[in-house]
Structure 1
Amino acid sequence: MSALMKLVILVPCCFFLVALIKFLYNYLWTPLRIQHMMNSQGIKGPPYRFIHGNNNQVTRMKVEASTKPMSLTRHDIFPRVQPHVHSWLNTYGKNYLSWNGVQAELVISEPELVREVLKNSKKAFLKPKPTLLGSKLLGKGLVMVEGENWVKQRKLANFAFHGQSLKQNMIPEVVASVETMLERWKGQEEKEMEVYQEFRLLTAEVISRTAFGSSYLEGEKIFTMLDKLSILVIRDIFKTRIPFISKLWKTADLVESEQLQKGIQDCVMEIIMKREDKDLVDECKTFYLAGQGNVNSLLGWTVLLLSIHGDWQEKARREVFEMFGNQNPHPEGIAKLKTMSMIMNETLRLYGPSNGLYRRVGREVQLEKLVLPANIHLVALNIALHNDPQLWGDDVHLFKPERFAQGIAKATNHNAAAFFPFGLGTRSCVGMTFATTEAKIALSMILQRYTMTLSPAYVHKPVLLITYKPQHGIQVIFEALHKDA
């Protein structure tokens, strides 16, 4: 055999051998090394499975949980919406190691450890790199960026949601949008109404008017496409990515996500060009997704709980009439709605947005009790802490707004990591005040006009789609307080 022929055979073999070694290093050696390292520090968890990690287990547990009925006497949604996390926390303790494919994830639910990570000032904890589909949802918006880009965008967002901006620009637009919704409700008294969809229209209208000076009709396509893209992203999270093969061809979900991404960008750019502003498309998508989805969820679950608990509905109504009478809410009064704040905080604890602490360890870091390897992901889901009986008591799954009668600090025993529906630390939700203000205005104006009872047709099935949503909507029957309501 000639030297040239030997070379032709040897070179591909060398490339194959190098690729095989790299593959085994990334998909076998590294996961087993991390697993051994964490086990030696007392951190256990479901064992790593070659390539798939724990994804098959997660999928099976989610399917099983989705078939189980739920009652409304106890608001214990954790085993249903995050069954794998709930099960493994009970099996392995408050901190455990699991595997999203080849990616190691350290799930933490000790408040002290969560706080230690958030207080770390050495820039060792970074935002995780999004999946390919995830990057199409938020791109380089405020949620995803790091460093100087984040500082710059955060300053702009802080200015947009400043107190004076809320009073002068946003609150009047919210009131006008709620009036439009209530006008649409006239004539529907004592009939079943699907309020989750109604609040979807309301919050879409509000974010369109306040952020872009447009109407819901202009933003309707954007919301529809964002909803579809969100479903694709959630579906993609626990899919196993086969190395090499996944880079050679596009899945049907990826193709659809690219089409949705282009459609969203075109629609947003059209609105931006009408205003002649230099807004960023990815930032606009963030406003649409968070500004609409989080408030929609908060309003829907609050109305559900008030429809069940008539005593708290009456307490909230009395407070609203004492503060505003029959007039529209005003900024000074909104800030003084103590009972409403208690009710909303308890709603956020039980059915809050699925925010949490998601960080990637940029380099090996020494914490007080643990040494964390580089590139491991840290996950602290607020649903785990919000449903912890050691933090909230044996009645943790009951709706009891009186927990917050003396404020959040007293309710959490001054433990900030025990309650963080809008995130914690410097990267907490910049629109938190706007979201709660919008919800208070809408609830106040509804309570001024109607009493609410839950329809017998309602089926309680919360599902996780970016936020926790009712799978079959929320059906409520409204009865007018006054004939001219």
Structure 2
Amino acid sequence: MGILFSIPLFLIALFLLRFIYKVIWKPFRIQSAMRRQGINGPSYKLIHGSTKEAMFLKQQASKGPMELSSHDIFPRVHPNFYAWMKIYGRNFLTWNGPRPHMVISEPELAKEILSNKESMYPKIKIDGFAVKLVGDGLVMTEGEKWSKLRKIANHAFYAESLKEMFPVMVASVETMIGNWKKYEGKEVEVHHEFDLLTSEVIARTGFGSSYLEGQHIFAMLTRLGFLLFKNVDKVRVPDIIKGYKTKDDIESDEVEQSLRDSIVEILRKREDKVSKGDAQNFGNDFLGSLLAAHHAADKKNRISIDNIIDECKGFFLAGHETTGSLLTWIFLFLGIHTDWQEKARNEVFQVFGQENPKSEGLARLKIVSMIINETLRLYSPVTSLARRAKSDVRLGKYELPANMEISIPIIEFHRSQEIWGEDAHLFKPERFAEGVAKATRNNPMAFLPFGFGPRTCVGLNFASNEAKIALSMILQRFKFTLSPSYVHSPIILVTVRPQHGLPIILQPLDSMNA
């Protein structure tokens, strides 16, 4: 009887010891070690770390809209980083619950992390809502698995593949523009329109799927994204006690299962076509490349169904969110700066005339490229990059412990007055008139909208092509101005987006010339 009674006591004692080590002893030890190296930050609070302070700063920053006189969105979308940087310096320590998190905004240290080819700074280990949203695909995985998946993605996005996607992109934009005729002389909310456009493009080019299938998948990804960012600054019971589930956890489980079922159904349809002889292979698009790898004869190069599902999540999410965000903010700028809208339109007519864009002409759109780059600088879809120290490591003059999480706020580099000048917060596409290298004074950390180093976004040319096609075709047909009803409130929900949408006033080009 005594032995049976002592077992639960031993388990309780073991749990308490692990709790004390994880939540008290280890965080305070790391905090002391970093302070000795000159790295300070908000003091660690038991269990919560600095998340309560971060939540308060974010609530304060989002109370009202921003002025449009400046596009310095750093204090708006990362008010905690912005405030702590002013107090503690360019590098500081913060806490995600009991997990240490170092923010690094020194370009040389950021370059050392992002260009490291020895995998000393892999992606942060994700769990909970983040895993359900992006899975363990190319975006998050490491090592040999990453190399295998990157090879597949590179094949799907190489030059010839992008050419094959071109007609689909043009056709999708034509459909959207046809629907816009009902808005002529009226207000149209373009963020929603670009959401629909990019979801159709990614569904058709990457998966050969229908518009409705794509919309259903995006709706579920958007919901998971909302649940993730709703809980991002919370230290939740499931993080401390495994197995416990909140209402949001239960909902996210259901959404993820529905998402998985939808993707599996798309896979099944493609496999059925091959098994019935309706197709000779799985196809040359992204989904076809994944299925070919799944059925590969060489087991070493084979990938699982779970791998395919995670890749589909990442591809749908990144391909849709990035371009939709980019197009939205381009229209904000061109709706305000109609002189640049006219310059871009004149260039489009010089290159393509009245005809739809051709792939070989995109490289000649210099002014359009300048506008895209300046938009990416001021409203980069992704505002920070996250890594972790794989083991105890020396970074510059600092000694970092294993599993130290690291954030690189690229939004800070994009607004640096040291690099971009005193007008860094203003929209001035002429900065890029002589290319990115000249604009950044050959500082590779000054402009990071698609990342840097081995993990540079594989879909950057896809996103750029889609944005140029959509912008060119719209400029050929319409003029537009920003609606007086617009409320400037940028938020982060997967990517940077306007909280209340982006309404513009649309006018057909022929009526303006009449």
Displacement of 1:484 in angstroms is 11
Superposition RMSD in Å? 1.6
Q: After TM superposition, give the deviation of residue 243 of structure 1 in Å.
A: 7.1
Match of 2:260 in 1: 265
Task: Indicate conservation of the 8 Å contact 1:355/1:422, yes or no.
Answer: no
> Does the residue aligned with 1:443 lie in a helix, a strand or coil?
helix
2:394 corresponds to: 366
Letter of the 1:324 partner, please give it.
Answer: F
* Shift of residue 17, structure 1, vs aligned partner: 2.7
Cα separation, 1, equivalents of 2:442 and 2:41? 30
- Alignment of structure 1 residues 384-423 onto 2, 5 Å: 384-423=412-451
Cα drift, residue 356 of structure 1 = 3.1
| SS, match of residue 422 in structure 2 | coil
Answer with 463-472 or 65-74: which moved more: 65-74
Counterpart secondary structure, 1:413: coil
Among the aligned pairs, what percent are the same residue? 51
The equivalent of 1:158 in structure 2 is 154
Counterpart Cα distance in 1 of 2:481 and 2:125: 44
Any idea what the Cα deviations from partners look like across 1:305-343, whole Å, max 9, x if unmatched? 000001111111111111111111111110121111111
Where in structure 2 are the equivalents of 1:29-428 lying within 5 Å? 29-167=25-163, 169-242=164-237, 246-276=241-271, 277=282, 279=291, 280-428=308-456
Q: Cα deviations across residues 47-82 of structure 1 (Å, max 9, x unaligned)?
A: 100110011111111111111331111112111111
CA distance in structure 1 between the aligned counterparts of 2:254 and 2:82, rounded to whole angstroms = 36
**Counterpart of 1:435 in structure 2: which amino acid?**
A
Distance 1:436 1:243 in 2: 40
AA partner of residue 77 (structure 2): V
Give the whole-Å Cα distance in 2 for the aligned partners of 1:272 and 1:243.
33
C-alpha displacement at 1:10, in angstroms? 4.1
Q: After superposition, give the CA deviation of every residue in 1:70-104 in whole Å (9 maximum; x if it has no partner).
A: 11111121111111011111111111100010110
Q: 2:450, 2:488 → 1: CA distance? A: 24
Question: 1:241 & 1:70 partners in 2: Cα distance?
Answer: 31
Superposed CA deviations along residues 213-232 of structure 1, whole A, max 9, x for unmatched, are 12212221111111001111
Distance 1:244 1:311, change over 3 A: closer
Is the contact made by 1:204 and 1:216 (CA closer than 8 Å) also made in structure 2? yes
Alpha-carbon deviations, 1:261-318, whole Å to 9, x = none? 1111111111222222454111111111111111000001001100000111111111
Q: Do the aligned partners of 2:202 and 2:320 also contact (CA within 8 Å) in 1?
A: yes
For 1:273 and 1:250, the matched residues in 2 are separated by 32
Q: For the Cα contact (< 8 Å) 2:237–2:244, is it kept in 1? A: no
1:419 Cα deviation after fit: 0.8
- Please give the secondary structure, in 2, of the residue aligned with 1:43: coil
The 8 Å contact of residues 189 and 504 in structure 2, kept in 1 or not, is answered as yes
User: 1:187 & 1:132 partners in 2: Cα distance?
Assistant: 43
Deviation at 1:13, TM superposition (A): 3.4
CA contact (8 A) 2:65 2:487 kept: no
Distance of 1:371 and 1:313 partners within structure 2:
49
The separation in 2 between residues aligned to 1:217 and 1:248, in whole angstroms, is 35
Residue in structure 2 matched with residue 16 of structure 1 by the alignment: 12
Q: Distance in 2 between matches of 1:175 and 1:433?
A: 16
In the aligned structure 2, how far is the partner of 1:214 from the partner of 1:14?
Answer: 56
TM-score by length of 2: 0.91
Residue 14 (structure 1) shift: 3.4
CA contact (8 A) 1:328 1:445 kept: yes
Give, in angstroms, the shift of residue 412 of structure 1.
1.1
Distance in 2 of aligned mates of 1:246 and 1:25? 15
Change (3 A) 1:408 1:401: same
**Structure 1: runs of 5 or more not aligned:** none
User: Residues of 1 paired with 2:338 and 2:239: CA distance?
Assistant: 58
* Paired amino acid for 2:139: V
Letter in 2 for 1:115: K
Match of 1:467 among 476, 495, 498: 495
Look up the SS of the partner of 1:180 in the other structure. helix
- Is the 8 Å Cα contact of residues 46 and 98 (structure 1) preserved in structure 2? yes
- Taking the aligned partners of 2:237 and 2:247, their CA distance within structure 1 comes to 16
SS in 1 for 2:381: coil
Amino acid at match of 1:175: V
**More displaced stretch, 239-248 vs 402-411:** 239-248
